[in-house]
Amino acid sequence: MLAKFRNLLARSSATKPRSVPAGERVYAIGDIHGRIDLFENLIRLIEDDDAARRPARTTVVLLGDLVDRGPDSAAVVARARDWGRTRKIEYIQGNHEEMLLSSRSKIDALRGFVQFGGCETIQSYGVDAEAIFAADFEELQALMNAAIPQDDVDFLSSFQKMVRIGDYLFVHAGIHPDTPVEDQTGRDCRWIREPFLSYKGDFGACIIHGHTITEQPDVRHNRIGIDTGAFLHGTLTAIGLEGTDRWFLQAHHDAAAGEASVAA
């Protein structure tokens, strides 16, 4: 598997090596979806990996979808905020954060939210499952708004649309190929699949994204997808970047303390 990753990474940078600025190191983490167990293990792997390398100005990018589907969204949100007190972290808003925030005031948004893991998120904030399923949408909205602290709402609302570091653009879902980067809409950044995924041209940067699940990192010459299905496949992935080097770290559900899988 490591050899496969090495070959993919080599092919992806064969035409024009992408890089981050000298003296910097970046780790980007894919969609966590309430899996605090995998998130804690991947944090440890990143901290150990960063400490083992030469000193650098390190930035962590969370690509969004911290919440929904998995059982511990509230814990993931709290841990992400706490980690930012000791690390430089760039937080990107995913479509699931967007749904949660919209659901606070829009019943139609709440209907979609509960279909895609929102009930698990509300339950993670201490609302009883029986109360959730017995409530109509107006009652559920009131329960959710009472349960989720304003500090968490403000934190999720502060997440960015995208972040650029060197030759890399970090975004939750992707960008529209026909739109300049500075004109990308938040909706495309958080929701797009096509025509982004099949586009073979140059985006003007290598896009690091989540949103679309693949069993292993999806390495292309113009983009790298790192949503490896934390809630579905039990694997949470990070990519490390320094200079023109790239490598992966992964936490798996079947490893009590996390398991690293590295390619450079």
Looking at residue 255, its pLDDT comes to 45
Looking at residue 111, its pLDDT comes to 96
- pTM (two decimals): 0.91
- Dihedral sign for Cα atoms in the order 13, 15, 18, 23: positive
> In the chain, where are the structural domains located?
2-13+27-94+162-231+242-251
At 114, list the tokens: 């509960």
* 3-class secondary structure, 20: coil
Looking at residue 182, its pLDDT comes to 95
Looking at residue 15, its pLDDT comes to 59
CATH architecture of residue range(s) 2-13+27-94+162-231+242-251? 4-Layer Sandwich (3.60)
Looking at residue 256, its pLDDT comes to 45
Contacts of residue 237, defined as CB under 8 A and 6 or more positions apart, other chains included, come to 29, 30, 217, 226, 227, 228, 248, 249, 250
Low-confidence spans in the chain with pLDDT less than 50:
1-7, 10-14, 255-264
Helices 95-103 and 150-157, interaxial angle, to 10°? Answer: 130
* 3-class secondary structure, 52: helix
Distance, CA of 7 to CA of 214 (rounded, Å): 18
Looking at residue 172, its pLDDT comes to 98
